[in-house]
Amino acid sequence: MASYRKDPAALAALNDLERKVTQESATEPPFRNTFWDHHEEGIYVDIVSGEPLFSSLDKFDSGCGWPSFTKPLEPAHVNEHKDNTHGMIRTEVRSQHGDSHLGHVFPDGPQEQGGLRYCINSASLRFIPKERLEAEGYGAYHALFKNTETSK
């Protein structure tokens, strides 16, 4: 099992938006972020720790302008916390090992898939395409995509 931690080199490499989102719990603009309309197959990992968080197989278009997922890839890597900021009561999600602010989870996702919508900031994620999983140390997740392979 891989060991994940808040990586000082990854922190130093963050751009301003990535730092504000992951370290200061900011929110990036809707519809103007990297993964809101991203459809490639693969997994999304914490930009700071590398821990696997979400799969493209659980991603859906919620219309909110941020990447939305029905469930975490590794539930133990996604912690939930009560968030009373901005005059609302919400459930914040943070990565377990990186302690990065990821976004929020809401009970308005597809009912047939559990009813949850993990609304996640692209700035907290790094995408690993299925073709690169092995090379990047995430080979165990390649099996998720075996039924999505297209024959040529």
How far apart, in whole angstroms, are the C-alpha atoms of residue 72 and residue 82? 18
SS3 track for 61-91 = CCCCCCCEECCCCCHHHEEEEEECHHHCCEE
Is residue 119 among the annotated active site residues?
yes
Among the listed residues 47, 119, 123, 144, the single catalytic one is: 119
Which residue in the block uniquely carries the two structure tokens 């907290």? 124
Q: Which residues are catalytic?
A: 119
